[in-house]
Amino acid sequence: MDCLHDPAWAGRGRVHCGSRENAANASEGLTDRMTKTHETRFYRCAVHEDNAEAVLCNRRRRLDARVQEISIDGFTVLLRRQDAERLTAGRPWRLEYSGATVEVDGEWFRDSPDGNVQIGLRRLRDLTKLDSTSGSVLSRRRPTSVRESGHSGLIFSGLLLTVFLILAMPGVGDALGTAPRIESAILSIWSALGNLIRGIK
């Protein structure tokens, strides 16, 4: 049963929209009282027409809506009458608006002068998912693992050894004058390693 014709809404103090004449007569005083009550408690911000597009989700239905007002506790949205009649009572809805997804509950209904249905929605909780880009940023900033550091050290050692071997080659080393120095350095290192091994034994 749709919520525009659901008797349960009348018991909850909602305004029925099943009959336009009844809704027009019954909602006038209630709307005035609700407006005064909300004005004393919350500041309501009107939404410009260019930024009003939204989607109201009810089960698997995705209904086009237009946000008219936003306050700290909810929204005022406008739906076509045929879409409003497809809404079902008894469970929360989801409002997708301006990149955010909010779980909402229908507070009141009333006919709009243009033939559409105006609905007051109360915020329940934010369902907006975290942006996937935040995960990629965190992954780029994660610390380097020990294994990655070990691989980098091996690569650097290999490059350094390659440079030493090139400089120690007879042709290159003699031309640059580095062969005797590298040979002397290698002999010194070899001698130091031999002394270290003998000391351990």
- pLDDT surpassing 50 at residue 78: yes
Cβ 38 vs Cβ 32: under 8 Å: no
- The domain defined by 7-129 folds into Thrombin, subunit H (2.40.10)
160-182 residue pLDDT tens: 777 666 666 666 656 666 667 76
Residues 6+ apart with CB under 8 A from 85: 2, 4, 5
Structure tokens at 171: 């042709």
Residues 6+ apart with CB under 8 A from 186: 168
> Looking at residue 97, what is its pLDDT?
96
Percent of the chain with pLDDT over 90: 36
Domain ranges for the chain: 7-129, 145-200
Is pTM beyond 0.85? Reply is no
Q: What is the mean pLDDT of the chain?
A: 74
